[in-house]
Amino acid sequence: MKDQYFKLCALCGPMFCIMFMVGFIGFAGFMPPLPPSATAVEIANIYIVDNASIKTGLIIMMIGLSFSIPFVSAIVTRMKQMRNSSSTLVTTFIIVSAAVAGLLFILICAWAVASYRIDRSPEIIQAFNDFAFILLIWPVSLIPVSYISLGLAVLSDDKNTPIFPRWFAFLNFWFAVLAYGGCLLIFFVDGPFAWDGLIAFWIPAVAFFGWYIVTSVVLLQSNDPAELVSQL
Amino acid sequence: MISTNKAESFSVQVKSNVKQTYLPSELGVWMFVFGDMLVFTLLFGSYAWERSQQHSLFVTSQAELSQTIGVINTLLLLTGSLFVVLALHAARIGRFALVNKLLLAAIFTGITFFINKLFEYSDKVSNDFTLLTNDFFMFYYMLTGIHLLHVIVATGVLVFIWKRLKANQSPLSKDSIKHLESGGIVWHMVDLLWIALFSLLYLIK
């Protein structure tokens, strides 16, 4: 009973990262992020000048996002196979991951709205740009919860034959800590805690994409416990 | 079959490592602690950079902080650390009742730190020093706030360990000792970070 799609789903995580970053950095040019301190006219100008490449980037990000969902399924498959699998934690992880996918969808849409009618007043373009960047960095109510529920599940697994290594649990807790860096961004338009700052953007961004890479490596190295039994 | 063998040889390897050098707690906890300290290093670095840019503003703002409250908080955390160390020692020599009492004492210092911090914040806010007053106070609230979250989590870890030990009346298992060690490591990290924070925010001239 080998799950032949497992490996494919596990590889979807890096695929999502690559496509999102190609769209975000390569085409949209959102790295470094558009500064929150910029005026409405400055922001609108960026959307007017780079309109076609921003739109192309958004399409790549939007398609890339689809790969994040099978990746979550691969993780959930393993979470359910853990010896002391807690269905509460699995459900929490599923709900939060689905919400994160939905929120990424909405924030890409918000950028799309900002770039859609560039002849309208700059304030409206700026408002949608604000909306997208705040959605990108602020949702500390969601992302850390998925890390913590996954980490706790790994810790509660059987110690002698764990599905994921135990350090992976603590790495998840650390990623959760990093993600909280953006929680006060609505207070600031510049400095390290604003949405283009070191603590609010750069560290959580590394954590967010780093999580997909590390998790996919851990997933690919993990064994299906049922398969081990059948081989014996 | 191959992978089971692999797993077995791996666990044998781990066991033989444990014999050679004893690692308190477990690898993951140390990874978390060093990762967390890395983040704080970046925070301290950006504070130091801002401070060098607006030196006089930072010095005058620093004078508004109460060093007395800072010292009290330092003593509280250091005492808490001592209690955790003593609890671990008591656990190793099998004095179960003492472990519980010492853990409670450590938890108490954590809670007192939290209450003390709330008084400090409300005093600052009532004197109109908020997150938005200037860059110094932005760093003051952010750094101490993130640290306070750590104190809350570390205290929570101790409460968790205390409850587990209370439920289990038999002699302490290896796992329980490991848990105590993890609690101690996290607690010491919170302590260490506070000492750095205390000097950077309250003392440095």
The C-alpha atoms of residue B82 and residue B77 are separated, in whole angstroms, by 9
The whole-number pLDDT of residue B2 equals 44
Report how many Cβ contacts below 8 Å link chain A to chain B. Answer: 59
The answer to whether the Cβ–Cβ distance between A170 and B31 falls below 8 Å is yes
B131 in contact with A, Cβ within 8 Å: yes
CA pair distance A27, A57, nearest whole angstrom:
5
Structure tokens at A82: 């853990």
- Angle (CA) B91-B93-B95 rounded to 5° is 60
Q: Å from B141 to nearest chain A CA?
A: 11
pLDDT 10s digits, B144-195: 999 999 999 999 999 999 988 877 666 677 888 888 999 999 999 999 999 9
Instruction: Output the six-digit token pair for A42.
Output: 């400055």
Nearest CA in chain B to A230: B1
Residues A41, A43, A45, A48, CA torsion sign: negative
Q: Contact A187/B132, CB-based, under 8 Å? A: yes
* 3-state secondary structure (DSSP) of residue A42: helix
Q: DSSP 3-state helix, strand, coil percentages of chain A (rounded to 5)?
A: 75, 0, 25
Distance from CA of A21 to the nearest CA of B (A): 23
Q: Do B46 and A232 touch (CB under 8 A)?
A: no
Closest CA–CA distance from residue A177 to any residue of chain B (Å) = 8
Report, as ranges of residue numbers, the positions in chain B whose pLDDT lies below 70. Answer: 1-20, 168-171
Structure tokens at B47: 């504070």
Round to whole Å and give the CA distance between A28 and A126: 16
Interface of B with A in 60-119 (CB under 8 A): none
Closest of A112, A130, A139, A132 to residue A200, by C-alpha:
A139
pLDDT at B168: 66
Q: Which of B10, B138, B151 to mutate to test the interface with A (most CBs of A within 10 A)?
A: B138
Closest by CA to A150, choosing from A13, A16, A17, is A13
Contacts with A198 from chain B: Cβ below 8 Å: 42, 46
DSSP state string for A145-160: HHHHHHHHHHHHS-SS
By C-alpha distance, which of A182, A140, A142, A189 is closest to B142? A182
Asked if residue B177 lies in contact with residue B41, where contact means CB atoms within 8 angstroms, the answer is: no
ipTM of this complex = 0.82
Q: Which of A58, A152, A57 is nearest to A96 (CA)?
A: A152
What is the reported pLDDT for B138?
92
| Interchain CB contact of B171 with A (< 8 Å) | no
Of all residues in chain A, the one with the smallest CA distance to B149 is: A177
Q: Are B183 and B81 in contact, with CB atoms under 8 Å apart?
A: no
CA torsion sign, B74 to B79 to B85 to B87?
negative
Residues of B in contact with A228 (CB under 8 A): 3-4
Q: What would the two tokens of residue A177 be? A: 């800590």
> Residue B131 has what pLDDT?
86
Cα A185 from chain centroid?
A: 18
Mean pLDDT of chain A: 92
**For residue A122, is the peptide bond before it cis, meaning its omega torsion is within 30 degrees of 0?**
no
How many residues does this entry show for chain B? 205
Chain B residues with CB inside 8 Å of A231's CB? 1, 3-4
pLDDT for the residue numbered B92: 86
Does the CB of B57 have a partner CB in chain A at under 8 Å?
Answer: no
Name the residue among A62, A79, A2, A3 with its Cα closest to residue A27.
A62
Contact between B144 and B62 (Cβ < 8 Å): no
Alpha-carbon span A44 to A50, nearest angstrom = 10
Report the alpha-carbon angle B114-B119-B123, nearest 5: 145
Residue B16, amino acid: S
Contact B31 A192 (CB under 8 A): no
* Number of Cβ within a 10 Å radius of residue B116: 15
Query: Which amino acid is it at A129?
Result: N
Residues B201 and B70: their CA atoms lie apart, in Å, by 9
Query: The whole model's pTM is what?
Result: 0.87
Chain A: give the shortest CA distance to residue B3, in Å.
8
- Rounded Cα gap, residues B162 and A16, in angstroms: 42
Structure-token pair, residue A179? 């993600």
Residue A15 pLDDT: 96
Binned average pLDDT, 10 residues per bin, chain A of 232 residues:
86 96 95 94 96 97 96 95 90 96 96 95 96 92 94 90 92 92 88 90 92 95 77 58
Cα angle A41-A43-A47, degrees, rounded to a multiple of 5: 110
- Chain B residue numbers with beta carbons less than 8 Å from the beta carbon of A180 are 146, 149
CA–CA distance, A6 with A14 (Å, rounded to integer): 14
Report which residue type is found at A127. A
pLDDT value of residue B166 = 79
Among A161, A166, A203, select the one facing B26 at the smallest CB separation.
A166
Report the residue of B2, B4, B58 to disrupt the A interface, i.e. the one with the largest count of A CBs within 10 Å: B4
C-alpha A157/C-alpha B171 separation (Å) is 24
Taking phi over 0 as left and psi of -120 to 50 as alpha, with beta for the rest, B128 belongs to left
- The two three-digit tokens of residue B132, written as one number: 């938005």
pLDDT tens digits, A64-98:
999 999 999 999 999 999 988 899 999 999 999 99
Token pair recorded at residue B11:
């666990």
Q: Given this model, what pLDDT does residue B1 score?
A: 40
Q: For residue A203, which residues of chain B lie inside 8 Å, CB to CB?
A: 39, 42
What is the rounded CA–CA span in Å between residue B73 and residue B66? 11
* Residue B169: per-residue pLDDT: 61
